[in-house]
Structure 1
Amino acid sequence: MFADVGCQGRISDGGVFKASKLYQQLTENRLGLPTPEELEGCSMQIPYFFAGDSAFALSENLMKPYTGDFPKGTPQRIFNYRLSRGRRIVENAFGISSAVFRVLRKPMLLEPAKAEWVIMTVILLHNYLRKHSPNMYTPFGTLDYEVNGNLTEGSWRNEGDMTSMVPIRNIPRIPTNYCTKVRDEIANYFINNGVLEWQDQYA
């Protein structure tokens, strides 16, 4: 797990990411990601990628949703649904952390350096408890779960809004043709060889 703490809130998520060590290692090919692989039915090798939201720039190793509304059953709509299922893991990590460690639910009246220590401590405790005491820290029903695509939301979502979180600014960017092609290939894979039989019902 990688965490970057301490960037100013006025900077977009994409800007924070570009200023991080993770981004530097990713662009310099020093993360040790597996080499691209063939997906059945695709016309090109598909790189391993991170799942991002609309605040990020589309890149070879970071996929983001298509912008706009698309008819049911279209590759773009299915892709956005499948990507959001992956991003739900991150939502649950933030959600359960803020539900348990209440200090995250409102602005911290601390010096920035001390606030960074608090946040890093929460991250370490979250990972430790998930690894060593999962039944106590996240009993069944705490996190979102799916059965054949039918989502049951975790109890952490009943905690209400957090005043400490601010909306992320979206910054329009023009992706390269290669990155767009990769996303299109993945989208077509999701409706062909990589289809889930129930996905049209929920996308």
Structure 2
Amino acid sequence: MDIKPINIFFFCRYLATGDSFRSVAFSYRVGGSTVAGIVKQVCEAIWDCLQDTYMPVPDAAEWRRIAADFNNLAFPNCLGAVDGKHVVIEAPPRSGSLYYNYKGTFSIVLLAVVDAKYRFRLVDVGAYGKNSDGGTLAASAFGAALRRGSLDIPEDSPLPGAEHLGAMPFVFVADEAFPLRKNIMRPYPGHTAGEKRAFNFRLSHVRRIVECAFGILATQWRVYRRVLCVSPEVVESIVKATCILQNFMRWDNDTIPRPAPTAEPSFGLLSTPRLGSNNATRDAVAVREAFAAYFSSPAGRVHWQEGRY
């Protein structure tokens, strides 16, 4: 698709400043509908041109490379941190409460899997704001592929130095709003101690990477700091384009950021935990207990967790 340089300028001005279409149009004496059409066109072109290179669906070999990066952050067999971000929008006409979320705003949801380098590896955009994170996951293409076993996840592998535990599955880490599954680890609920508290601490240490990635996204593109007064379809195009551009800027960065350890497990930006359904299978519970035992064992313990729990 042939995109003129001036169109790229309008796109960057709108997304980087958070100005409205009308404000950008007034500044350069063009029509508001013209700016709106340009932004949508450029967003779609960026996604179409860059998605295969900077956000391909990982194969088994790539999943193993991602897991190796998380192993350097003291959480082996981890394939990514999962969370949802509400992108605030103006209520679409005749939409009722479909987009009304628990924060009291209208939104669509960006569900993302983020690697240890703050890169978006899988995204699902467009779920109704009223859905819980667990419901969004269940309805997403990512959730469906995880249930079908079609994500090309590597075969189970022992944790480093803990062959006695047997082969352990590769997992995604999430907060308490997500369900516990064999391939999705969430924190133990309530007040914990001992191995459970150690597990929550270590999970929190890597899970907040996805929150940091959302923070980077909102800092680079200030359009996320305002109410988007455009259709949900245009918002989806904007979100996908900004995610792929964040990957583009970080793709060749081999440095793995190391978040400073926290004294307490983090529950995100909320003052109280969001609780999701936890009708876990016995296999899922057994996997979490094995990770908890490993993190408190000599093979899995790290020096910076001492005294933290």
TM category (shorter chain) comes to 0.7 to 0.9
**Aligned AA (2:170):** Y
Alignment deviations for residues 7-47 of structure 1 (CA, whole Å, 9 cap, x no partner): 00110011111111111111111111111122316534210
Contact 1:12/1:170 (CA < 8 Å) preserved in 2?
Answer: no
In structure 2, what is the Cα distance between the partners aligned to 1:150 and 1:30?
A: 35
In structure 2, what is the Cα distance between the partners aligned to 1:95 and 1:89?
A: 10
Report the structure number with the largest CA radius of gyration. Answer: 2
In structure 1, what is the Cα distance between the partners aligned to 2:182 and 2:258?
A: 29
TM-score scaled to structure 2, two decimals? 0.53
- Structure-2 change in CA distance of 1:150 and 1:86 (3 Å): closer
Match of 1:56 among 155, 173, 178: 178
In structure 2, what is the Cα distance between the partners aligned to 1:33 and 1:121?
A: 26
- Structure-2 change in CA distance of 1:98 and 1:168 (3 Å): farther
Contact 1:36/1:48 (CA < 8 Å) preserved in 2?
Answer: yes
**Aligned AA (1:197):** H
In structure 1, what is the Cα distance between the partners aligned to 2:171 and 2:235?
A: 31
Shift in Å, 1:61: 0.4
Match of 2:230?
Answer: 110
**Aligned AA (1:58):** L
Match of 1:188?
Answer: 293
Shift in Å, 1:84: 0.8
Shift in Å, 1:172: 2.8
Match of 1:82 among 202, 227, 234: 202
Match of 1:145?
Answer: 259
Match of 1:171?
Answer: 276
Match of 2:216 among 96, 100, 111: 96
Shift in Å, 1:86: 1.1
Shift in Å, 1:198: 2.3
In structure 1, what is the Cα distance between the partners aligned to 2:157 and 2:222?
A: 42
**Aligned AA (2:233):** A
Structure 2: stretches of 5+ with no match in the other structure: 1-120, 264-268
Structure 1: stretches of 5+ with no match in the other structure: 135-142, 152-160
Provide the secondary structure at the position in 1 that maps to 2:223: helix
Residue 152 of structure 2 is aligned to residue 32 of structure 1: yes
Shift in Å, 1:202: 2.8
Aligned residues: 179
Alignment deviations for residues 119-154 of structure 1 (CA, whole Å, 9 cap, x no partner): 11110111111125x6xxxxxxxx7633xx479xxx
Shift in Å, 1:100: 1.3
**Aligned AA (2:288):** R
Question: RMSD across aligned C-alpha pairs, in angstroms?
Answer: 2.6
Residue 305 of structure 2 is aligned to residue 199 of structure 1: yes
Contact 1:78/1:200 (CA < 8 Å) preserved in 2?
Answer: no
Residue 181 of structure 2 is aligned to residue 67 of structure 1: no
In structure 2, what is the Cα distance between the partners aligned to 1:68 and 1:88?
A: 19
- Structure-2 change in CA distance of 1:110 and 1:144 (3 Å): farther
Provide the secondary structure at the position in 2 that maps to 1:202: coil
In structure 2, what is the Cα distance between the partners aligned to 1:51 and 1:184?
A: 14
- Structure-2 change in CA distance of 1:183 and 1:168 (3 Å): closer
Instruction: Identify which of structures 1 and 2 has the higher relative contact order when contacts are C-alpha pairs closer than 8 Å and 6+ apart.
Output: 1
TM-score scaled to structure 1, two decimals? 0.79
Provide the secondary structure at the position in 2 that maps to 1:55: coil
